[in-house]
Structure 1
């Protein structure tokens, strides 16, 4: 069918939508038909009004479905012409029927395209299916405790045994002198080092990407912690499996199936104390010869961790559709770290065409993988949540990474990753000697918190709060002197936006004047990654052209207390002499 051809009227049985909303069902139905080629590239879709009349639904329902398809890159809109199907002919759609059944128990589900079942470590096939071997069983016979080389706990030292080591007693006096010198150094230098590492106090920290702890249902969480303490001591005090408690892994697998369209085995989930810890385990497992690529600009901490582990890494520029795959190929990287649902700090959603290019890159070599960081993806304020790459991965190339520190509270250092079956087998063989770093108390409590629906209710409540918070911040800026010298770029997602300011100040001056006003300010350039090979310079030039030379501030509004909002915007305006 040519680009000028009109699609016949789209007909779907809306009675089979199960628990899905009308717009989600319609979006999913059209998405599947496009992905499977039943609606070819270039086809003009029915107008919103005509389709609404045909299906006997509201125009707003069709608008919401079309908007989601546009966001994900399946459909484009042309002014005064209508809606047209994009070329997604290379899209390999998984079994929708099995994924839908897992989501809602009905014929067609509400989240994303089909995703077959993720297996466990025992084998792999080109089609999704349940694999036989499990990761949990791989640690059987390892013993209830991980021991040091000598056979005892790794952190225990027997003074009597040390006394028998040749040379120790003879050097005791010099050792005492060294200890005295070390103690003196510790007393004079350590407090200063700790002070340098401590975060300074600000009136408002616009840089920290943290949530408001006042939103967290602490009473509910406390009740679950008390219930956990009443569990039989055998359950609570025994050693935890290396990959985390089965109860929590099952709860996370069920949550991902309901909310992210991901059908995964609990055995493929690894629990850890923070994304940084899990990322470090991946680096160690994949080895020092594996080259990692990062989105540039992007999250600097992962680049720092890669450098600390001795892994080569490359910053790869992005454009308005996300990571540039041709630049990724040129970089020589084996593994790439991306945030396709909500890139930081731009908020870009990676469209389907770029996702297909990324899958093609990964499939060209056996050792290539994609680390999908889905952090912050739950906070989307229009349309539905963006489908993860993992849910559309038919080749076991995606490692899924997420955390609870943003959706719940920062102090809850619980993260998880979902590994493809082949990598899971490798993780079991090489990394399972590491003990799980999250206490059983918190894991049991979190499992119950998720299973009884409190996590989803808390996320919905928090999402509504941040939607109102964002609107209030934007309204306050629009009514301030900043409106005359700036414009906002925000994409209805996350808890930050870009504020482009026309100012004569240098970046250092903006930071300094912000600190004088009690504001911790971050700039777009703070998130540019540099490894000396010119990639960051290309990214800088691209966004300098895009921003017309304006200074881009990355404003995180999650931590602004509502009563401090007017004063915060007033102080921000005082940073720039153009507002005076």
Structure 2
């Protein structure tokens, strides 16, 4: 596309984000300078795009304060097909996803080299034996009983989560289960973390649920903000907050549970993201294991502990919400193939799953320790955070290089790194979120060398 049309594409993408609810009324828009650096485009391109948004009333300006999102409900009916763009949001914010990189710190990838494929193949054959004809039929909306049994047993042994298999519901993704929860909770009003795991905001916007975004610090969500509102559901990722990597401490976990127990309508949704992989210090128990009044809804997934394409997530419902689920009309059928559920259940029952987890915990720990050791000589230029657990951490450049300069250096070395502004547009520093899980040990050293060359002097 000709360069002269770039500002129109940017305008269309920003307008679409506003219309689809990715920004709330009154939200501060990124400054022209910050967005220019993030997207590696000229200030003129940003100015033209912002002027379009100003002219049509999508944003407004406050002197010496910046740009803010207008109340979308007050805007006239619009033609969403105007200036149809050939570029999607991801073309801007993913830095050309079709490009092949020599070095990449991708998120949500595992080290597939260590997966016990031969063992899993055995369970696949077992699932397709002649006597497994029942797997060809429709399954329970909650999922296969055998897998729910194994999940309940595993959660109790590994996370202290106490539940009956009947409380476990299996879905194909966290997003699908969040969508189910909004049907069960109906008119609930949410607190969500800021920045947060993107799908939660997307589901709430789509279903038109009210929510407040609450800041996160190094000990977890800032609970004192709860006093300013009267919402009744808190969605948190306490084990390894996404995207900051912060771990909620025990004191704040206890305070959050106390908040939930003060009203019968209050609940906590605990997304136990990355809980399987903690490398430093004593493991912190799940929120659900600390709860004595059935106020915690537990969600997790097999995407990291097994493999992303497995597409199995699960939630544990408190008993009174289970009763609401049971009477919910028009429940969606289970979307995870019965044979996949059977394979995973057998894999867990044999003990292979826990052995695999132990092995991968050591592999990822070795990778992380290597990375931290390689970056240590540059601690006066690079600040690492969120590296206690999980398969990603954040890296802030403190040597004066701008985000634009860092991205240009990375491009020169054919290195893919994700700016933190993708998840928090208000971030002003040159900060990145780096995933290391999918990088083979043999290729870790050259990855770190290129990273250091791109971000340091």
Shorter-chain TM-score: what band?
0.7 to 0.9
Query: What corresponds to 2:198 in structure 1?
Result: 300
Contact 1:272 1:437 in 2 (8 A): yes
Report the alpha carbon displacement of residue 458 of structure 1 after superposing the two structures with TM: 0.6
Report the alpha carbon displacement of residue 509 of structure 1 after superposing the two structures with TM: 4.0
* Residue 441 of structure 1 pairs with residue 342 of structure 2: no
Contact 2:241 2:273 in 1 (8 A): no
Please identify the structure whose Cα radius of gyration is greater: 1
2: distance between equivalents of 1:320 and 1:295?
12
Report the alpha carbon displacement of residue 272 of structure 1 after superposing the two structures with TM: 0.3
1: distance between equivalents of 2:410 and 2:333?
44
1:254-403 pair list within 5 angstroms: 254-287=153-186, 289-403=187-301
Query: What corresponds to 1:527 in structure 2?
Result: 423
User: Using a 3 Å threshold, how does the CA distance of structure 1 residues 284 and 366 change in structure 2: closer, same or farther?
Assistant: same
Contact 2:139 2:338 in 1 (8 A): yes
Deviations 1:418-446 (A, max 9, x none): 00011111112115631001011001111
* Residue 485 of structure 1 pairs with residue 381 of structure 2: yes
Deviations 1:395-421 (A, max 9, x none): 111100000011111110000000001
Contact 2:191 2:233 in 1 (8 A): yes
Contact 1:378 1:385 in 2 (8 A): no
Report the alpha carbon displacement of residue 494 of structure 1 after superposing the two structures with TM: 1.1
Q: Match of 2:122, SS?
A: helix
1: distance between equivalents of 2:133 and 2:442?
48
Contact 1:325 1:361 in 2 (8 A): no
TM-score (norm 2): 0.75
1:419-498 pair list within 5 angstroms: 419-430=317-328, 433-478=331-376, 482-498=378-394
1:115-264 pair list within 5 angstroms: 199-200=97-98, 201-264=100-163
Greater mean alpha carbon deviation, residues 380-389 or residues 216-225: 380-389
2: distance between equivalents of 1:233 and 1:455?
22
Report the alpha carbon displacement of residue 505 of structure 1 after superposing the two structures with TM: 3.5
Contact 1:296 1:527 in 2 (8 A): no
1: distance between equivalents of 2:379 and 2:360?
28
Query: What corresponds to 1:38 in structure 2?
Result: none
Query: What corresponds to 1:71 in structure 2?
Result: none
Report the alpha carbon displacement of residue 561 of structure 1 after superposing the two structures with TM: 2.2
1: distance between equivalents of 2:121 and 2:357?
18
Q: Match of 1:263, SS?
A: coil
The structure showing larger relative contact order (alpha-carbon pairs under 8 Å, at least 6 residues apart) is 2
Q: Which runs of 5+ in 1 are unaligned?
A: 1-184, 530-536, 545-549
Q: Match of 1:411, SS?
A: helix
Q: Match of 2:310, SS?
A: coil
Deviations 1:141-163 (A, max 9, x none): xxxxxxxxxxxxxxxxxxxxxxx
2: distance between equivalents of 1:332 and 1:513?
47
User: Using a 3 Å threshold, how does the CA distance of structure 1 residues 512 and 329 change in structure 2: closer, same or farther?
Assistant: farther
Greater mean alpha carbon deviation, residues 367-376 or residues 553-562: 553-562
Report the alpha carbon displacement of residue 295 of structure 1 after superposing the two structures with TM: 1.3
1:69-108 pair list within 5 angstroms: none
Report the alpha carbon displacement of residue 265 of structure 1 after superposing the two structures with TM: 0.4
User: Using a 3 Å threshold, how does the CA distance of structure 1 residues 351 and 483 change in structure 2: closer, same or farther?
Assistant: closer
Contact 1:205 1:559 in 2 (8 A): no
TM superposition outliers: structure 1 runs of 4+ over 4 Å: 189-198
Instruction: Indicate the RMSD between aligned Cα atoms, in angstroms.
Output: 2.7
1: distance between equivalents of 2:146 and 2:321?
22
Q: Match of 1:416, SS?
A: strand
2: distance between equivalents of 1:555 and 1:378?
18
1: distance between equivalents of 2:138 and 2:115?
29
